């Protein structure tokens, strides 16, 4: 009887230990989920990995990475995606960004070609405050690999003119100045495009229409310089604020006038309290949605 009692005691202790182990593993797995830095979803809300994104990129010619400007996950994945695209296409890859204005292109070219120093480059290009942490790695990658990096955005002074004085004010600019803007005779503003109509509604009488027109002018100019610089066999990856390419509007609204949509791939970045499931409001924003916890630290 003593042996049976001892065996029962041992069995009970082992059972309790197994239960504790299961509870610990469940708890650990729960913590691991909470600590995920990001999850990638398809437009429909299915979880995928970066390899799936790269397979989808095969055959695309225009890849738009919609970022949150101060989000470190956006910037890290931009670099990872770019290096992987380079692995696929080598010198066929071209880079371009909203963060650089078209009239600075020659300075960028001079830097990439080692004609000017990094100090002169940084002093003379109108860089965003977070350049060194967030965009310099991309610029240096282009320099190291001998890739072109295109400044696609309209000079901010001209976007400001359009907002404050109206689009027709740009017609008074010199021919030299107009080189850095989408040709005005081809620019069309469609207030029914959701991203613009939303702006008009939100800002109302406080310059809503002009704000939307200035935004559209930026989008059209970026599409213009992408098309002007891309060549037949190249793959163009463009970095921009998510609102410039979400729902395949913004820049892509203008690009689609010249390009088949099946040649375009989009990514966007969203913040959610819980990243285990993509919220319905974030579904469909892009071909791939990078979902990041709201508690993620920022770069500035």
Residues 195 and 121 sit within 8 Å (Cβ to Cβ):
no
Asked if the model's pLDDT at residue 100 lies above 70, the reply is yes
Each residue of 112-163: pLDDT tens digit?
999 999 999 999 999 999 999 999 999 999 999 999 999 999 999 999 999 9
Each residue of 67-78: pLDDT tens digit?
999 999 999 999
Predicted pLDDT of residue 145: 98
Of 211, 218, 76, the residue nearest 151 (C-alpha): 218
The rounded distance, in Å, linking the Cα atoms of 98 and 50 is 24
Average pLDDT over residues 261-265: 97
The rounded distance, in Å, linking the Cα atoms of 169 and 249 is 26
First to last CA, the chain: 71
Work out the widest C-alpha separation in the chain, in whole angstroms. Answer: 105
Residues 135 and 128 sit within 8 Å (Cβ to Cβ):
yes
Each residue of 156-190: pLDDT tens digit?
999 999 999 999 999 999 999 999 999 999 999 99
Average pLDDT over residues 277-297: 97
Q: List Cα–Cα distances, 142 to 138, 147, 160, 237, 277, in angstroms.
A: 6, 5, 30, 12, 35
Residue ranges with strand state E in the chain: 39-42, 47-48, 62-67, 93-101, 149-153, 235-241, 264-272, 288-293
Residues 53 and 88 sit within 8 Å (Cβ to Cβ):
no
Predicted pLDDT of residue 115: 98
Of 187, 186, 166, 183, the residue nearest 175 (C-alpha): 183
Instruction: Output DSSP code: residue 155.
Output: P
pTM of the predicted model as reported, rounded to 2 decimal places: 0.88
Each residue of 9-68: pLDDT tens digit?
555 545 555 555 544 444 445 454 557 999 999 999 999 999 999 999 999 999 999 999
């Amino acid at each position: 009887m003593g042996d049976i009692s001892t065996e029962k005691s041992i069995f009970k202790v082992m059972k309790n230990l197994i239960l504790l182990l299961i509870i610990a593993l469940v708890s650990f797995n729960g913590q691991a989920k909470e600590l995920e830095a990001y999850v990638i979803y398809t437009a429909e809300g299915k979880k995928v990995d970066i390899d799936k994104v790269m397979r989808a990129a095969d055959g695309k010619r225009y890849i738009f990475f919609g970022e949150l400007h101060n989000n470190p996950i956006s910037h890290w994945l931009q670099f990872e995606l770019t290096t992987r695209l380079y692995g696929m296409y080598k010198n066929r890859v071209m880079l371009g960004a909203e963060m650089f204005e078209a009239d600075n292109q020659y300075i960028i070219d001079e830097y990439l070609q080692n004609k000017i120093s990094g100090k002169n480059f940084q002093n003379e290009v109108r860089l965003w405050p977070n350049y060194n942490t967030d965009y310099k790695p991309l610029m240096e990658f282009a320099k190291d690999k001998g890739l072109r990096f295109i400044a696609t955005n309209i000079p901010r002074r001209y976007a400001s003119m359009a907002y404050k004085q109206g689009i027709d004010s740009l017609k008074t600019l010199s021919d030299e100045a107009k080189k850095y803007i989408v040709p005005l005779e081809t620019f069309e503003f469609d207030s029914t495009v959701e991203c613009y109509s939303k702006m008009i509604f939100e800002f109302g009488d406080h310059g809503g229409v002009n704000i939307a027109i200035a935004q559209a002018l930026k989008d059209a100019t970026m599409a213009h310089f992408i098309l002007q610089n891309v060549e037949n066999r190249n793959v163009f990856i463009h970095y921009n604020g998510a609102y410039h390419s979400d729902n395949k509007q913004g820049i892509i609204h203008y690009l689609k006038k010249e390009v088949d949509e099946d040649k375009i791939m989009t990514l966007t970045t969203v913040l959610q309290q819980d990243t285990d499931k993509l919220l319905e409001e974030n579904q469909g924003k892009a071909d791939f949605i990078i979902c990041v916890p709201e508690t993620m630290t920022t770069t500035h």
